[in-house]
Structure 1
Amino acid sequence: MTQMQDKQTIEVNGADIAYRFDGPKDGRVLLATSSLMANGSMWDLNVPAFADRYRVLRYDKRGHGGSGVSPGPYSIAQLADDAAGLLDALGIEKAHFMGLSIGGMIGQQLGARYPERIYSLSLCNTASEMPPRNLWEERFEIARTQGIAGLVDGTIQRWFTAPFIERAPQEIEKVRQMILGTDVNGYIACGSAVRDMAQSTMLLKIKAPTLVLSGRYDPACTVEQGTVLHRLIDGSKMVVLEDAAHLSNIEQPAAFNRTVREFIDSVDNTL
């Protein structure tokens, strides 16, 4: 899970954004947005489950992976503007959306502020508020003094259940290297966007068909936080994946892929 292979970059809102396509050129686009301290390779176990039908567009958000690092702090609104700007730059009018953690926070903004661009929203392991503020300040101080290496073990313990960490050392090592490849300034700038986020009321504006997916044992974006999204997004569907923590797409890829694919197909078949 190093940087995405075969990726290209394009300028969006003053930053170079790295992206890659998989799947048929005439398929409807599925825009996939990654978590904090992750790049587009986070979706390696998921893309094949969608790319037979959909043109999967992965990208590295500003400050991460192969994309440019501009001065922070960023906001979720700014990162959502980047996602919409990427669609503009690539000539894509409308897309299905799949985002996890901060990716799902970006998706909430897209659904509320760019409704004409979205066929469906899959908001995975995410939340609309992320207290407390001091938790983020502690993490930023570790990043400044110890680098990303100071955060990697705690992050992996939040992202996956203990049994998965034990049974899947190769996947864990790929994730570890992906985290370690994150730029400190990019992490702090994007982490600040999560710290400062307050968008529960924005959820009331979302009208696109929406799937809310949570991991039963996710300590970062809990089932309770997912339930808030589900209650405030009109007509949304909620699924809880058992035996999964925060990166449910990696810990339970078969269940994740099946759940999201069935949802997106159900929407796409009506278009």
Structure 2
Amino acid sequence: MEGLSFFTTGDGARMAYRFDGRADAPVLMLSNSIATSLHMWDGVMPDLAEHFRVLRYDTRGNGASDAPAGAYSLDRLGRDVIELLDGLGLERVHFLGLSLGGFIGQWLGVRAPERIDRLVLSNTSAHLGPPQEFDRRIAELTGDVDMQAIAEGFIRNWFPSSMVDARLPVVESFREMVLQTSPQGLAGSYAAVRDTDLSRIVTLVTRPTLVISGEHDNVTAASHGEAIAAAIPGARYLVLPCVHLPNVESERAFVDAVRAFLSGAA
């Protein structure tokens, strides 16, 4: 837990976060994918921390944050962000969310636009279904849970088979993140995704937005990102040649696009 700080939300959950980068730089908040921790951003941190004061946190149910019992809601996950910003005295930040983090980013863009400067939504959807699929996954997380099989499923959905079969260290680091995820926290996170449909209200996002998709993403298809970008007035849209984690698989193009957008470059 080196480098981590903690705060407690209004409903009593203990949440982990950390800062990297210059104290006088613009703040960029990063929000992670389901079943990962803030370490999913480690590979891009040297570059991002050179230009931003990067605020990373573990979504409730993931990483070093608490994993309360029961279904989570997107409203609760969004309020966790607002409460953290309030506690840190941060009025407005850039926000980059990937997958589940992108759901949270959309919520913030609709419900708390005054807290967001520029918004990056990567490899995410406004709605994922059917709900029965998430009910099945939640049921698998009770009793004797086979986290090895669950981790393998995530890894196969996140990376191309060539990277998985080569057992690259970066892939194995993500496998370890899944294995360290609380089954109770994962179930709660699944419920938040299951119960969320932002497809009608995402049009209310008014902050400058960049939407990034993976050309080969089978979790949050590129068509989902394209629909979000089409719904948000003035949003920019970028497709990268990757699966679900462009920050790993298309690292250079991803960082360059994020930096250019956040700096206001055309």
Note the 1:35-50 alignment, pairs <5 A. 35-50=33-48
Note the 1:219-234 alignment, pairs <5 A. 219-234=218-233
Tell me the TM-score normalized by structure 2: 0.95
Query: Equivalents in 2 of 1:33, 1:72: separation in Å?
Result: 21
One-letter amino acid matched to 1:179: V
The answer as to whether partners of 1:40 and 1:60 remain within 8 angstroms in 2 is yes
Query: Equivalents in 2 of 1:167, 1:264: separation in Å?
Result: 34
SS in 1 for 2:68: coil
How big is the shift at 1:216?
Answer: 0.4
How big is the shift at 1:143?
Answer: 2.2
How big is the shift at 1:185?
Answer: 0.5
> Runs in 1 of length 4+ with deviation above 4 angstroms?
none
1:10 equivalenced with 2:7 (yes/no): yes
How big is the shift at 1:146?
Answer: 2.2
1:88 equivalenced with 2:89 (yes/no): no
Query: Equivalents in 1 of 2:26, 2:252: separation in Å?
Result: 22
The Cα offsets for residues 180-239 of structure 1, whole Å up to 9 and x where unpaired, read as: 000010000011000111111221110100000000000000011111101111100000
One-letter amino acid matched to 2:115: R
One-letter amino acid matched to 1:8: S
SS in 1 for 2:34: coil
Q: State the match for 1:235 in structure 2.
A: 234
Q: State the match for 1:208 in structure 2.
A: 207
How big is the shift at 1:127?
Answer: 0.2
Tell me the TM-score normalized by structure 1: 0.94
Q: State the match for 1:67 in structure 2.
A: 65
Q: Which of 119, 123, 126 is the aligned partner of 2:124? A: 126
Note the 1:1-271 alignment, pairs <5 A. 5-13=2-10, 14-144=12-142, 145-167=144-166, 169-242=168-241, 244-266=242-264
One-letter amino acid matched to 1:95: V
- Alpha-carbon RMSD across the aligned residues, in angstroms, is 1.4
SS in 1 for 2:201: helix
One-letter amino acid matched to 1:146: V
The answer as to whether partners of 2:61 and 2:184 remain within 8 angstroms in 1 is yes
One-letter amino acid matched to 1:182: T
One-letter amino acid matched to 1:116: E
The answer as to whether partners of 2:145 and 2:183 remain within 8 angstroms in 1 is no
Query: What percentage of residue pairs aligned between the two structures are identical?
Result: 37
The answer as to whether partners of 2:37 and 2:63 remain within 8 angstroms in 1 is yes
The answer as to whether partners of 1:49 and 1:261 remain within 8 angstroms in 2 is no
The aligned length equals 264
Where does the alignment leave 5 or more consecutive residues of structure 1 unmatched? none
Query: Equivalents in 2 of 1:69, 1:90: separation in Å?
Result: 22
SS in 1 for 2:18: strand
